[in-house]
Structure 1
Amino acid sequence: MPFGHFIDVTPMLQERGVLDVILQVYNEKKQGFQIRQSLLVFRAEDVTLILGLRCDGDIVSFKNEKDESNFEKKFLHKMHNRHRNAIKDNLLTIVLSKKHKDEQTFVKLLVVYFMTMIMFPNSVLHASLFVARYADNLASLGCYAWAHATHR
């Protein structure tokens, strides 16, 4: 068990898939993993240790703003453009382009991709609109409490 050193339990043998086991022991009421008599709760500080994200800073808002940026209009305006594969295709197009490479757009798309796949994943593999607002302002990315937002 990868987190066995956090709690004092003997190893459990399961024949189901790992994800199924994890979901089976999650206690939504207590917001933690109930493993026999132990409750394993992950805090934002644990997310900081696991993912290396900042724990202090400005609060991340999950609300969508009505004003779209040029970046958002060009790359994320339509639902199919926000799918993981479309974002990946746009990243590859920029990398493989023989014309002038737009590094800033590449970095913004990469930030959206990471936020969509690692920090704020969803079952449909689409980027949430709120991530574009943060990716669009690269200079302020370091000001936010990303560990708290990811934990939420």
Structure 2
Amino acid sequence: MKRKILLFLLIIFIGIQFIPVELNQSEITSNNDFIAATNPSKEIETLLKTSCYDCHSNNTNYPWYDRVAPVSFWVRQHIDEAKDELNFSEWNTYTQKRKNHKIKEIIEETEEGEMPLESYLIMHVDAKLSIIQIEQLKNWLDTIKAE
């Protein structure tokens, strides 16, 4: 009986691999992109791409395990939710009021350790922001915020 259950689960696992999940990858970097629009230093650009862009842009770098169902389903849902909240690839489509609000939220969430998410940091340890990086990011974001 155990063997039949395991075989059934294996068949299900193999079967769900054939359910397509649209990847969040775009070869185009538009003028609407946050980095293109704000021209940060290389250090800030690297920080943003390492810690933020996988979930909050139109271009995710997928490790192999993010392509395996059911993980791929969860990752896609997570990215969709993140982009609904903030999409760096669409930055210049935001009003100035919305941009300022998003900058304020970025500062608050990084200072409070809410971003990047702990679930993301488990497999992306290089995305963890140090206190110094958070301060550098905050200082730079303050310079681009319009009154």
> Aligning the two structures, in what range does the TM-score lie when normalised by the shorter sequence?
under 0.3
What TM-score does the superposition give when structure 1 sets the normalisation length?
A: 0.25
What TM-score does the superposition give when structure 2 sets the normalisation length?
A: 0.26
The structure with more strand, counted as a fraction of residues: 1
